Structure 1
Amino acid sequence: MTFSNATPYVALDVPTTGPDGHALVVAVVKATFDILPGGRIVPSDDPIPLRPNDIPLDAKNPNGSIVLPSDLCIEKHGADVIVLGDAVSKRRVESMDVAVRVKDRTVQLRVHGERRFTQGIAGVVMGPAVPFERMPIVYERAYGGMSEDLTLIEERNPAGVGVAKRKRDLLDRPAPQIEHPLRPHTDAGDKHPPVGLGPIMTHWLPRRAWAGTFDEAWQKTRIPLMPVDFDIRHNNAAHPDLQFESPLAPGDTVSVLGMHEDGVMSFEIPAFPVVVRGRFDGGEKVVERPVIDTLVVHPNERRFEIVARKAFRIGRGQRVLRELQVDLSF
Structure 2
Amino acid sequence: MTIIVSQSSFPAQGFEHRFYHGNRYHCLSTKVTLAWDADSRLEALERQPPLYLHDTWRDQPERSSLLYPSDLIPFKPSTDVLILGTVRPPEERPLPMWYASLQIGELEKRLRFFGPRHWQYGALSGWTLSEPEPTDGVALLYENAFGGCIGDKPHYEEGEYFPDNPVGCGFIDVRQTDRAQRYRAAQIEAWDAPLREFGRPVRPGGFGPLPAYVPERLQHAGTYDEQWQQEVAPNIPLDMDLRYWNTAHADQRPAGYLKAGDRIRLAGIRPGAPLELTIPPYDAAAVCSYEDGSRVSQVMSLDTVLLDLDASRMTLRFHAIVAQDERIKRINLYCASTTLVDKEVRHG
- Using the TM superposition, name which of 169-178 and 248-257 deviates more: 169-178
**Residue number in structure 1 paired with 2:168:** 160
SS where residue 228 of structure 2 aligns?
Answer: helix
- CA displacement 1:217-250 (0-9 Å, x = unmatched): 0111111111111111110001222122211111
Cα separation, 2, equivalents of 1:142 and 1:221? 41
Determine what percentage of the aligned residue pairs are the same residue.
23
**Residue number in structure 2 paired with 1:66:** 66
Task: Give the partner amino acid of 1:56.
Answer: W
**Residue number in structure 2 paired with 1:219:** 229
Q: 1:143 to 1:262 in 2, by over 3 A?
A: same
**Residue number in structure 2 paired with 1:145:** 148
**Residue number in structure 2 paired with 1:322:** 329
**Residue number in structure 2 paired with 1:104:** 106
Higher strand share: 1
Is the 2:87–2:309 Cα contact (8 Å) retained in structure 1? Answer: no
**Residue number in structure 1 paired with 2:36:** 35
**Residue number in structure 2 paired with 1:248:** 258
Tell me by how many angstroms 1:261 deviates: 4.6
Query: Aligned pair 1:278/2:279, yes or no?
Result: no
Task: Give the partner amino acid of 1:15.
Answer: E
**Residue number in structure 2 paired with 1:85:** 85
Tell me by how many angstroms 1:182 deviates: 4.1
Q: 1:244 to 1:99 in 2, by over 3 A?
A: same
TM-score normalised to structure 1 length: 0.92
**Residue number in structure 2 paired with 1:57:** 58
SS where residue 245 of structure 1 aligns?
Answer: coil
Q: Which ranges in structure 1 are unaligned for 5 or more consecutive residues?
A: none
Q: Deviating runs (4+, > 6 A) in structure 1?
A: none
**Residue number in structure 1 paired with 2:344:** none
**TM-align CA RMSD:** 2.0
Is the 2:84–2:308 Cα contact (8 Å) retained in structure 1? Answer: yes
Q: 1:167 to 1:199 in 2, by over 3 A?
A: farther
**Residue number in structure 2 paired with 1:311:** 321
Is the 2:18–2:236 Cα contact (8 Å) retained in structure 1? Answer: no
SS where residue 328 of structure 2 aligns?
Answer: strand
SS where residue 94 of structure 2 aligns?
Answer: strand
Cα separation, 1, equivalents of 2:191 and 2:28? 40
SS where residue 177 of structure 2 aligns?
Answer: helix
Task: Give the partner amino acid of 2:163.
Answer: E
SS where residue 227 of structure 2 aligns?
Answer: helix
Q: Which ranges in structure 2 are unaligned for 5 or more consecutive residues?
A: 342-348
Q: 1:167 to 1:122 in 2, by over 3 A?
A: farther
Cα separation, 1, equivalents of 2:211 and 2:99? 25
SS where residue 76 of structure 1 aligns?
Answer: coil
Cα separation, 2, equivalents of 1:256 and 1:44? 22
Cα separation, 2, equivalents of 1:145 and 1:324? 45
The aligned length equals: 326
